[in-house]
Amino acid sequence: MSRYPQRIRIVEVGPRDGLQNEAVQLPTALKIELIDRLSAAGLGTIEIGSFVSPKWVPQMADTAEVLNGIAHRPGVSYPVLVPNLKGMESAVAAGVDEVAVFASASKSFSQRNINCTIAESLRRFEPIMALSRSHGIRVRGYVSCALGCPYEGPVAHEKVAEVAASLADMGCYEVSLADTIGVGTPLAAASMLEAVLRQVPVDRLALHFHDTYGQALANTLACLELGVSVLDAAVGGLGGCPYAAGATGNVATEDLLYMLHGLGCETGVDLDRVVDAACFVSDALGLAPASHLARLRR
């Protein structure tokens, strides 16, 4: 019997976490085509955008148009990120069925990113959670800087666990632990996860690894052994972190799938179609493919 989970759910974050950090602003029609390609490949959760101020994130200004234009496949969830109550109100008006919120495990990152303390950021979610309950909208949480901060360096595992537990307690059905700047290594990733597991059950956790130092797949493998079965990834390895110089994109969905299928894990995702989508979005952005599998297709 394999020591890894038999079934893995991939949360595709490329259309949001990936595209929001790209210099080129992808036209709405191409975003819609990308998302439709990803849903046709079998991905069941695709984060399509965010309701944030277009002044700060112009790449996400057309999220409502994207949501209205995609082919909504039965059984597929299309969450959006909301940073505050105003964003949540926009999400409700757009008719979403799932949103995501984020809090940092680093006080310096929280202060510089959203201009408040960790505790203040969590309190801001209270009206979001109330609105989500009244409209039957599911909420997913992110803990950023789970393995390191660009300002503070290493982040205490206990602080990551504390923030993750707070998000779970306030009603997030799932909490994704994010190595926002991609500095983690397998031992650190597993140790952080073990600390979180003491406060949050494994079936309510996900992992979100960036690949700045090429460790994302190794970190994933180390954590799979602890039972996590939900993994975030971005098609083509899109993304980065605007607050961390040199930070690169998320682990590429296609590279992650190749590893998971090699481990005998079921994903329900068509790898070839995801590689095609990676080549499509790379061409649309005028970039060379960032993932190993997409480069092989060239």
Q: Which residue has the tokens 């926009």?
A: 90
Catalytic residue among 223, 241, 265, 279: 241
Q: Which helix (H) or strand (E) holds 101?
A: strand 98-104
Q: Is 241 a catalytic residue?
A: yes
Cβ atoms of 129 and 103 closer than 8 Å: no
Q: Please give the angle made by the CA atoms of 186, 142 and 231, to the nearest 5 degrees.
A: 50
Cα gap 214→185, rounded to integer Å: 9
Amino acid at 96: V
Cα gap 60→57, rounded to integer Å: 6
> Can you name the residues that pair with 142 across neighbouring β-strands?
102, 176
Cα gap 8→285, rounded to integer Å: 29
Catalytic residues: 241
